[in-house]
Amino acid sequence: MNFDLRDDGLWPLLTRVKRPGRYAGGEWGSLPVKASGGDCDIARICLAFPDVYEVGMSYLGYQILYSLIKTLDYADVERAYCPWPDMEAEMRSAGYPLRSLESGRLLRDFDAIGVTLQYELCCTNILTMLDLGGVPLKSSDRGAADPIVIGGGGGALAPAPLEMFFDVFCLGDGEETLPELMTALRGTRGMPRDERLKAFSSIEGIYVPGVGSAPARRRIVSDLDGSFVHRTMVVPNMSIVHDRVAVQVFRGCTRGCRFCQAGIIDRPVRERGAESVANQIDELIRYTGWEEAGLLSLATCDWTYLEGLLKAISPSFDRNGVKLSLPSLRMDSFSVGLAARLETMRRGGMTFAPEAGSERLRAVINKGITDQDVSSTLNAAFSHGWDRIKLYFMMGLPTETESDLDGVLRISEEAVAIARRNKRRGEISVSLAGFVPKAHTPFQWESQATREELRERGRYVKGRVKSKKISLSYHEPDQTFLEGVYARGDARIGEVTLEAWRRGARFDGWTECFDMELWMGVFRDLDIDPTWYANRERGLDESLPWDMIDVGVTREFLERERARAFRGEPTPDCRLGRCNLCGWQSRGGACARKLAAPGSLEEEK
């Protein structure tokens, strides 16, 4: 570590806050900062995660990008995380600015600041980090000497609510765009800011608000094994959310759940080979000392080489006491059988996401799970020895009725009964989350249930739980409502964000910090109606705030999927049959090579 806490004003602050390990740095795997003559030959970026350390350190994307940028001889990278309110107060009181963990460099002294936009309710934390780092909040207020503020992640594909705070948005896979962006950062240093932004806009996969032609096209890594694969990870110096080696086995998903933004914006499916994954796991385990590895994707059990990998690595894992986990499981007996072979999975509970309480509503959202699938999966889980099951559902889905909500209880009670027949304890945890219509999905036009409706539905289901074996909770409707505002917001929401932050909004995704009255006061004072964004159905001919972004899936496909949803018609997984003509097949590459397409667009219409 280049940064000595004993010689800096940070040390006294750490004695007065909770979890000082969040700010200490010096972790194993934190690589040395590159030296350069006057910083002229190195482009420096700080990856600034807008949440606490233990959340940010669990985000695989930053681990990948950190390792990648360290391999570039013309660039260097450091990290920063958002301080919790107690630490923010101490920093402001002491006049201590936000610095990078590695060297203690001030955020304002970097060439660029990279912020991931993974969750809508982290928006005010972005402003906290910029302000503490000495960076002007608005892009329009920054000069030639200020860092270029870059947004990436899923939120960059619907950027309008945060455009006023960002100079550049990276669309798609950062492994493709960041090396070129870092080259441009170094090559344009010293030029007027508007000329720099114009240069950035010429890079494919980069969107610069107000600069360049629209739509801006998302960039992807087409060959995961042939692309950069991280061989190191920064090991946290405290417990984090996901404390393990993380390896991505494929990107994309073709199951086509109509509510799922990630399943659309991560297309097409790109798989890694078993040998590549096995080698990476082995290297990361040796490097980090972690004793658990997780295989990550949107649907890990769909990975073609999963069983082969399990057979290949089991002997060495058993010898060395390393455990493997599968974070995402399908609701079928095959997935349960795989999990039953993993000790890591056996010692915890099983988690499944039926999403909706009836087979009818699951057809609407294209979840592809029948009532028989639910019953057989629960039976398999309890017969394999599990005692605890967690079930995730949504409420407020399009076409939802009281009968669908009753189905949540029916499935929960069925789980208790199946556990009893298998002589298991059968502890059932049920979580209900409010549905949020997301950009670039077939439901992007739908109205979101109001706060009152979501609260009423949550109370309806919770109040009808009879069995002591079932614990049920539902997500705070006020937070769900605000998520809906940001998910489909336009540029006016930027002013709301700025004013809410000025009034003290912080960590809005954390229930203990969230203050809905503060937010509603801002909306009233700025004369902006939040229900116009969250609770209003859009017309199919309406211009949408994210139309300037091309994610690769056509609007025509989304409209067809919406129509099929309201007819209750499922759309089959295109990996198992014909192409569903989402738009990627017209671009060539992996999708067109892997997927058969005997059907025609006319048949779909």
Q: Does the pLDDT at position 35 exceed 90?
A: no
- For residue 208, the 8-state DSSP code is B
CA 414 – CA 425 distance, rounded (Å)? 13
Assess contact for 440 and 261: CB atoms under 8 A.
yes
CA 415 – CA 394 distance, rounded (Å)? 18
pLDDT of amino acid 4: 54
Q: CB-based burial of residue 102 (10 Å sphere; 0-12 exposed, 13-18 middle, 19+ buried)?
A: buried
Q: Does the pLDDT at position 2 exceed 50?
A: no
Domains and CATH numbers, the chain: 5-217 (no CATH), 343-551 (3.30.750.200)
pLDDT of amino acid 436: 98
462-502 pLDDT per residue, tens = 999 999 999 999 999 999 999 999 999 999 999 999 999 99
Banded model confidence at residue 6, pLDDT cuts 50, 70, 90? very low
Q: Tokens 């906290």, residue?
A: 128
584-600 pLDDT per residue, tens = 876 654 553 343 333 33
Q: In 3D, which of 438, 450, 387, 377 has the Cα closest to residue 411?
A: 377
User: What is the number of H-type helices and E-type strands within the chain?
Assistant: 24, 17
Q: Are strands 216-217 and 350-355 parallel, antiparallel or unpaired?
A: unpaired
* pTM for this model (two decimals): 0.93
CA 519 – CA 507 distance, rounded (Å)? 13
Q: Most confidently modeled of 209-213, 321-325, 508-512?
A: 508-512
Mean pLDDT, residues 42-59 taken together: 96
Phi, psi for 471 (deg, rounded to 5): -115, 130
Q: Tokens 């089991």, residue?
A: 314
Residue 2 exposure: Cα atoms within 13 Å on the Cβ side: 14
406-446 pLDDT per residue, tens = 999 999 999 999 999 999 999 999 999 999 999 999 999 99
Q: Does the pLDDT at position 571 exceed 50?
A: yes
Question: Which residue type is seen at 123?
Answer: C
CA 503 – CA 19 distance, rounded (Å)? 26
Question: Which residue type is seen at 91?
Answer: M
CA 500 – CA 532 distance, rounded (Å)? 18
